[in-house]
Protein backbone atom coordinates (compact mmCIF):
# COMPACT_ATOMS: atom_id res chain seq x y z
CA UNK A 1 0.00 0.00 0.00
CA UNK A 2 2.81 2.42 0.91
CA UNK A 3 4.53 1.62 -2.36
CA UNK A 4 1.46 2.71 -4.33
CA UNK A 5 1.26 5.96 -2.38
CA UNK A 6 4.91 6.77 -3.12
CA UNK A 7 4.38 6.01 -6.82
CA UNK A 8 1.27 8.18 -7.06
CA UNK A 9 2.60 11.09 -4.99
CA UNK A 10 4.84 12.58 -7.72
CA UNK A 11 1.95 12.40 -10.20
CA UNK A 12 -0.43 14.10 -7.77
CA UNK A 13 2.12 16.84 -7.08
CA UNK A 14 2.65 17.37 -10.80
CA UNK A 15 -1.08 17.71 -11.46
CA UNK A 16 -1.45 20.16 -8.58
CA UNK A 17 1.50 22.23 -9.77
CA UNK A 18 0.00 22.53 -13.26
CA UNK A 19 -3.39 23.42 -11.82
CA UNK A 20 -2.09 26.15 -9.55
CA UNK A 21 0.55 27.62 -11.87
CA UNK A 22 -1.16 27.82 -15.26
CA UNK A 23 -4.54 28.66 -16.67
CA UNK A 24 -6.44 27.93 -13.50
CA UNK A 25 -4.66 30.59 -11.45
CA UNK A 26 -5.49 33.36 -13.90
CA UNK A 27 -9.00 32.27 -14.82
CA UNK A 28 -10.16 31.69 -11.27
CA UNK A 29 -8.62 35.03 -10.29
CA UNK A 30 -12.06 36.30 -11.32
CA UNK A 31 -13.21 36.15 -7.72
CA UNK A 32 -14.95 39.53 -7.73
CA UNK A 33 -18.07 40.60 -9.64
CA UNK A 34 -17.42 41.77 -13.17
CA UNK A 35 -19.61 44.49 -14.72
CA UNK A 36 -19.46 44.63 -18.52
CA UNK A 37 -21.30 46.61 -21.18
CA UNK A 38 -21.42 44.80 -24.52
CA UNK A 39 -21.86 47.01 -27.59
CA UNK A 40 -24.05 45.39 -30.24
CA UNK A 41 -26.69 46.84 -32.55
CA UNK A 42 -30.46 47.31 -32.57
CA UNK A 43 -32.78 44.65 -31.15
CA UNK A 44 -33.57 42.06 -33.80
CA UNK A 45 -30.25 42.32 -35.63
CA UNK A 46 -27.85 39.38 -35.78
CA UNK A 47 -25.31 41.31 -33.71
CA UNK A 48 -27.86 41.86 -30.95
CA UNK A 49 -28.59 38.12 -30.92
CA UNK A 50 -24.86 37.35 -30.76
CA UNK A 51 -24.29 39.73 -27.85
CA UNK A 52 -27.38 38.57 -25.95
CA UNK A 53 -26.25 34.95 -26.30
CA UNK A 54 -22.71 35.75 -25.14
CA UNK A 55 -24.08 37.64 -22.14
CA UNK A 56 -26.18 34.66 -21.03
CA UNK A 57 -23.22 32.28 -21.34
CA UNK A 58 -20.89 34.65 -19.52
CA UNK A 59 -23.25 35.40 -16.66
CA UNK A 60 -23.52 31.67 -15.88
CA UNK A 61 -19.76 31.41 -15.23
CA UNK A 62 -18.79 34.84 -13.94
CA UNK A 63 -18.56 35.41 -10.15
CA UNK A 64 -21.82 36.03 -8.28
CA UNK A 65 -23.04 39.60 -8.66
CA UNK A 66 -21.58 39.99 -12.16
CA UNK A 67 -23.58 41.40 -15.05
CA UNK A 68 -23.25 41.78 -18.81
CA UNK A 69 -25.45 44.54 -20.20
CA UNK A 70 -26.12 44.47 -23.94
CA UNK A 71 -26.31 47.92 -25.51
CA UNK A 72 -28.92 47.72 -28.32
CA UNK A 73 -27.51 50.49 -30.47
CA UNK A 74 -24.45 51.36 -32.51
CA UNK A 75 -23.16 49.29 -35.40
CA UNK A 76 -20.12 48.57 -37.53
CA UNK A 77 -19.07 52.22 -37.80
CA UNK A 78 -20.08 53.46 -34.35
CA UNK A 79 -18.86 50.60 -32.17
CA UNK A 80 -15.08 51.07 -32.59
CA UNK A 81 -15.37 54.70 -31.46
CA UNK A 82 -17.78 53.84 -28.64
CA UNK A 83 -15.21 51.30 -27.47
CA UNK A 84 -12.27 53.68 -27.80
CA UNK A 85 -14.10 56.30 -25.72
CA UNK A 86 -14.82 53.81 -22.94
CA UNK A 87 -18.61 53.85 -23.28
CA UNK A 88 -18.64 50.05 -23.60
CA UNK A 89 -16.16 47.39 -22.48
CA UNK A 90 -16.45 44.97 -25.38
CA UNK A 91 -18.26 45.23 -28.70
CA UNK A 92 -18.94 43.64 -32.05
CA UNK A 93 -17.29 45.40 -34.96
CA UNK A 94 -16.57 44.76 -38.57
CA UNK A 95 -12.97 43.77 -39.19
CA UNK A 96 -12.70 46.52 -41.79
CA UNK A 97 -14.07 49.28 -39.54
CA UNK A 98 -11.95 48.15 -36.58
CA UNK A 99 -8.89 48.39 -38.82
CA UNK A 100 -9.93 51.81 -40.15
CA UNK A 101 -10.54 53.10 -36.61
CA UNK A 102 -7.22 51.72 -35.29
CA UNK A 103 -5.29 53.30 -38.17
CA UNK A 104 -7.34 56.52 -38.35
CA UNK A 105 -8.49 55.91 -41.92
CA UNK A 106 -11.66 56.65 -43.88
CA UNK A 107 -14.38 58.15 -41.66
CA UNK A 108 -12.04 57.89 -38.66
CA UNK A 109 -9.41 60.23 -40.09
CA UNK A 110 -7.93 62.24 -37.23
CA UNK A 111 -9.54 59.87 -34.68
CA UNK A 112 -7.11 56.94 -34.63
CA UNK A 113 -8.14 54.58 -31.82
CA UNK A 114 -4.82 52.97 -30.94
CA UNK A 115 -6.27 51.46 -27.75
CA UNK A 116 -8.46 48.99 -29.69
CA UNK A 117 -7.65 45.30 -29.21
CA UNK A 118 -9.21 42.07 -30.51
CA UNK A 119 -10.55 39.08 -28.60
CA UNK A 120 -11.75 36.87 -31.46
CA UNK A 121 -12.25 37.41 -35.19
CA UNK A 122 -13.62 35.59 -38.20
CA UNK A 123 -16.87 35.21 -36.31
CA UNK A 124 -19.03 34.78 -39.38
CA UNK A 125 -19.40 35.60 -43.06
CA UNK A 126 -20.76 39.08 -43.64
CA UNK A 127 -21.61 40.07 -47.17
CA UNK A 128 -22.16 43.43 -48.81
CA UNK A 129 -25.33 43.06 -50.87
CA UNK A 130 -26.66 45.12 -53.75
CA UNK A 131 -30.32 44.23 -54.30
CA UNK A 132 -32.66 45.43 -57.07
CA UNK A 133 -36.43 44.99 -57.38
CA UNK A 134 -37.32 42.84 -60.40
CA UNK A 135 -40.19 45.25 -61.15
CA UNK A 136 -37.65 48.08 -61.44
CA UNK A 137 -35.45 46.03 -63.79
CA UNK A 138 -38.47 45.18 -65.97
CA UNK A 139 -39.61 48.81 -66.06
CA UNK A 140 -36.25 50.44 -66.82
CA UNK A 141 -34.00 47.73 -68.26
CA UNK A 142 -31.40 48.71 -65.67
CA UNK A 143 -29.90 45.51 -64.26
CA UNK A 144 -26.43 46.73 -63.24
CA UNK A 145 -24.79 49.63 -61.44
CA UNK A 146 -22.95 50.55 -64.64
CA UNK A 147 -26.23 51.02 -66.52
CA UNK A 148 -27.57 53.03 -63.60
CA UNK A 149 -24.56 55.35 -63.75
CA UNK A 150 -24.68 55.65 -67.55
CA UNK A 151 -28.33 56.69 -67.54
CA UNK A 152 -28.13 58.84 -64.39
CA UNK A 153 -31.47 57.38 -63.45
CA UNK A 154 -33.35 58.95 -60.48
CA UNK A 155 -33.37 55.72 -58.50
CA UNK A 156 -34.79 55.37 -54.99
CA UNK A 157 -32.06 53.94 -52.76
CA UNK A 158 -32.55 52.51 -49.27
CA UNK A 159 -30.09 51.33 -46.60
CA UNK A 160 -29.57 51.39 -42.86
CA UNK A 161 -28.75 54.61 -40.97
CA UNK A 162 -25.44 56.19 -40.14
CA UNK A 163 -23.52 54.00 -37.67
CA UNK A 164 -23.99 50.85 -39.73
CA UNK A 165 -21.40 49.60 -42.21
CA UNK A 166 -24.04 49.63 -44.96
CA UNK A 167 -23.96 53.38 -45.82
CA UNK A 168 -20.15 53.71 -46.25
CA UNK A 169 -20.05 50.38 -48.11
CA UNK A 170 -22.74 51.65 -50.45
CA UNK A 171 -20.87 54.93 -50.96
CA UNK A 172 -17.62 53.08 -51.71
CA UNK A 173 -19.32 50.89 -54.29
CA UNK A 174 -21.16 53.80 -55.91
CA UNK A 175 -17.92 55.78 -56.08
CA UNK A 176 -16.45 53.09 -58.34
CA UNK A 177 -19.07 54.13 -60.90
CA UNK A 178 -18.78 57.86 -60.35
CA UNK A 179 -21.91 57.94 -58.24
CA UNK A 180 -22.77 58.95 -54.68
CA UNK A 181 -25.80 59.57 -52.49
CA UNK A 182 -25.65 63.26 -53.44
CA UNK A 183 -25.43 62.46 -57.16
CA UNK A 184 -28.51 60.27 -56.95
CA UNK A 185 -30.39 63.12 -55.27
CA UNK A 186 -29.18 65.55 -57.98
CA UNK A 187 -30.65 63.21 -60.61
CA UNK A 188 -34.03 63.43 -58.88
CA UNK A 189 -33.71 60.18 -56.97
CA UNK A 190 -33.82 59.67 -53.20
CA UNK A 191 -31.80 58.09 -50.39
CA UNK A 192 -33.75 56.69 -47.45
CA UNK A 193 -31.97 55.46 -44.33
CA UNK A 194 -34.06 53.49 -41.83
CA UNK A 195 -33.54 50.60 -39.43
CA UNK A 196 -32.95 47.24 -41.07
CA UNK A 197 -36.23 45.78 -39.86
CA UNK A 198 -38.21 48.45 -41.72
CA UNK A 199 -36.51 47.99 -45.09
CA UNK A 200 -38.28 44.83 -46.39
CA UNK A 201 -41.73 46.46 -46.13
CA UNK A 202 -40.54 49.61 -47.91
CA UNK A 203 -39.03 47.57 -50.75
CA UNK A 204 -42.00 45.20 -50.93
CA UNK A 205 -44.41 48.12 -51.23
CA UNK A 206 -42.44 49.53 -54.17
CA UNK A 207 -41.21 52.61 -52.32
CA UNK A 208 -37.52 51.82 -52.99
CA UNK A 209 -35.75 50.38 -56.05
CA UNK A 210 -32.28 49.45 -54.81
CA UNK A 211 -31.22 48.17 -51.40
CA UNK A 212 -27.66 48.16 -50.05
CA UNK A 213 -27.15 45.83 -47.11
CA UNK A 214 -24.31 44.36 -45.05
CA UNK A 215 -25.42 41.15 -43.35
CA UNK A 216 -24.62 37.50 -42.64
CA UNK A 217 -26.52 34.48 -43.99
CA UNK A 218 -29.83 34.06 -42.18
CA UNK A 219 -30.16 37.80 -41.55
CA UNK A 220 -33.86 38.36 -40.69
CA UNK A 221 -34.43 41.48 -42.80
CA UNK A 222 -32.77 40.06 -45.92
CA UNK A 223 -34.53 36.73 -45.41
CA UNK A 224 -37.89 38.52 -45.17
CA UNK A 225 -37.16 40.67 -48.20
CA UNK A 226 -36.15 37.75 -50.38
CA UNK A 227 -39.18 35.73 -49.24
CA UNK A 228 -41.83 38.40 -49.63
CA UNK A 229 -40.62 40.57 -52.51
CA UNK A 230 -39.36 39.78 -55.99
CA UNK A 231 -35.71 40.80 -55.70
CA UNK A 232 -32.40 40.23 -57.48
CA UNK A 233 -28.92 40.35 -55.95
CA UNK A 234 -26.11 41.73 -58.09
CA UNK A 235 -22.50 40.55 -58.28
CA UNK A 236 -19.70 43.10 -58.32
CA UNK A 237 -17.14 43.11 -61.17
CA UNK A 238 -13.61 41.99 -60.34
CA UNK A 239 -12.13 45.47 -60.81
CA UNK A 240 -14.62 46.87 -58.30
CA UNK A 241 -13.88 44.12 -55.78
CA UNK A 242 -10.16 44.71 -56.21
CA UNK A 243 -10.58 48.43 -55.54
CA UNK A 244 -12.69 47.71 -52.45
CA UNK A 245 -10.09 45.23 -51.19
CA UNK A 246 -7.63 48.10 -50.98
CA UNK A 247 -10.07 49.75 -48.57
CA UNK A 248 -10.27 46.73 -46.27
CA UNK A 249 -13.29 44.97 -47.79
CA UNK A 250 -12.13 41.45 -48.67
CA UNK A 251 -13.38 39.82 -51.90
CA UNK A 252 -15.71 36.94 -51.13
CA UNK A 253 -18.46 34.90 -52.78
CA UNK A 254 -21.88 34.25 -51.30
CA UNK A 255 -22.84 30.66 -52.20
CA UNK A 256 -25.93 30.07 -54.31
CA UNK A 257 -29.17 29.67 -52.34
CA UNK A 258 -27.83 31.43 -49.26
CA UNK A 259 -31.15 33.28 -49.46
CA UNK A 260 -34.38 32.25 -51.20
CA UNK A 261 -34.43 33.28 -54.84
CA UNK A 262 -30.67 33.79 -54.98
CA UNK A 263 -29.92 30.85 -57.26
CA UNK A 264 -26.46 31.97 -58.42
CA UNK A 265 -23.27 32.64 -56.42
CA UNK A 266 -22.86 36.35 -55.72
CA UNK A 267 -19.39 37.82 -56.07
CA UNK A 268 -19.10 40.56 -53.50
CA UNK A 269 -16.96 41.72 -50.56
CA UNK A 270 -16.84 40.80 -46.89
CA UNK A 271 -16.09 43.36 -44.13
CA UNK A 272 -15.81 40.57 -41.52
CA UNK A 273 -16.82 40.49 -37.85
CA UNK A 274 -14.60 40.73 -34.78
CA UNK A 275 -15.28 40.94 -31.05
CA UNK A 276 -13.15 43.84 -29.87
CA UNK A 277 -12.22 45.55 -26.63
CA UNK A 278 -9.55 48.02 -25.50
CA UNK A 279 -6.34 48.07 -23.49
CA UNK A 280 -8.44 49.09 -20.45
CA UNK A 281 -9.91 45.60 -20.06
CA UNK A 282 -7.97 43.60 -17.40
CA UNK A 283 -5.96 40.71 -18.82
CA UNK A 284 -7.73 38.04 -16.79
CA UNK A 285 -11.14 39.28 -17.96
CA UNK A 286 -10.00 39.35 -21.60
CA UNK A 287 -8.70 35.79 -21.18
CA UNK A 288 -12.02 34.64 -19.71
CA UNK A 289 -14.06 36.31 -22.47
CA UNK A 290 -11.89 34.84 -25.22
CA UNK A 291 -12.13 31.38 -23.69
CA UNK A 292 -15.91 31.68 -23.47
CA UNK A 293 -16.25 32.86 -27.07
CA UNK A 294 -14.06 30.09 -28.44
CA UNK A 295 -15.40 27.23 -26.35
CA UNK A 296 -19.14 27.78 -26.75
CA UNK A 297 -19.57 27.71 -30.52
CA UNK A 298 -22.31 25.07 -30.36
CA UNK A 299 -24.54 27.23 -28.17
CA UNK A 300 -23.86 30.27 -30.37
CA UNK A 301 -24.76 28.41 -33.56
CA UNK A 302 -28.00 27.27 -31.90
CA UNK A 303 -28.85 30.95 -31.31
CA UNK A 304 -27.89 32.10 -34.81
CA UNK A 305 -26.79 29.74 -37.59
CA UNK A 306 -24.58 32.39 -39.20
CA UNK A 307 -21.90 31.60 -36.57
CA UNK A 308 -21.17 28.27 -38.31
CA UNK A 309 -18.15 29.60 -40.29
CA UNK A 310 -16.40 30.62 -37.03
CA UNK A 311 -13.16 28.67 -36.56
CA UNK A 312 -11.80 29.28 -33.01
CA UNK A 313 -8.38 27.93 -34.01
CA UNK A 314 -8.08 30.82 -36.50
CA UNK A 315 -9.79 33.53 -34.45
CA UNK A 316 -6.43 35.14 -33.60
CA UNK A 317 -5.24 35.69 -37.19
CA UNK A 318 -4.77 39.33 -38.15
CA UNK A 319 -6.78 38.77 -41.34
CA UNK A 320 -9.70 37.84 -39.05
CA UNK A 321 -9.24 40.63 -36.50
CA UNK A 322 -7.85 43.65 -38.37
CA UNK A 323 -6.32 44.92 -35.10
CA UNK A 324 -3.78 43.64 -32.53
CA UNK A 325 -4.87 41.02 -29.99
CA UNK A 326 -5.47 41.87 -26.35
CA UNK A 327 -2.71 40.26 -24.22
CA UNK A 328 -5.33 38.19 -22.38
CA UNK A 329 -6.66 36.84 -25.67
CA UNK A 330 -3.15 36.15 -26.95
CA UNK A 331 -2.39 34.18 -23.80
CA UNK A 332 -5.43 31.97 -24.38
CA UNK A 333 -4.50 31.23 -28.00
CA UNK A 334 -0.90 30.42 -27.08
CA UNK A 335 -2.00 28.09 -24.29
CA UNK A 336 -4.26 26.26 -26.74
CA UNK A 337 -1.30 25.86 -29.07
CA UNK A 338 -3.08 27.61 -31.92
CA UNK A 339 -0.80 30.62 -31.89
CA UNK A 340 2.94 29.99 -31.90
CA angle 260, 265, 266 (to 5 degrees): 95
Fold agreement (31-124+272-336, 127-270): yes
CATH number for the 31-124+272-336 domain, one of 3.30.465.10, 3.40.50.620, 3.40.50.1370, 3.40.190.10? 3.40.190.10
Instruction: Give CA torsion, residues 274, 280, 281, 284, to 10 deg.
Output: 130
Q: Is the separation of the CB atoms in 120 and 293 below 8 Å?
A: yes
Structural domain spans, the chain: 31-124+272-336, 127-270
pLDDT in tens, 10-58: 333 333 333 333 433 344 468 889 999 999 998 888 899 999 999 999 9
pTM of the model: 0.78
Q: Phi then psi for 309, rounded to 5 degrees? A: -70, -10
Q: Which CATH class is domain 127-270?
A: alpha beta
CA terminus-to-terminus distance, the chain: 44
pLDDT in tens, 102-148: 999 989 999 999 999 999 999 999 999 999 999 999 999 999 999 99
**CA distance linking residue 23 with residue 202, whole number of Å:** 52
Amino acid sequence: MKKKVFVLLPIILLVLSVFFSGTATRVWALDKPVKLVFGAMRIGTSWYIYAATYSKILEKDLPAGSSVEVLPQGGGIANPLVLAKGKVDVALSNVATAKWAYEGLMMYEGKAAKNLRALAGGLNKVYVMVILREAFIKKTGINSLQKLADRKYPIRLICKPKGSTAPPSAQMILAQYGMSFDKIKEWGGSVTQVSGGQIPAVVRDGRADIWFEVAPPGHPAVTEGMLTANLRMLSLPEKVRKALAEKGLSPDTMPANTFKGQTEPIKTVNPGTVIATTTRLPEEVAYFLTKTICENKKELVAAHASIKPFVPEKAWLLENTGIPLHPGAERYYREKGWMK
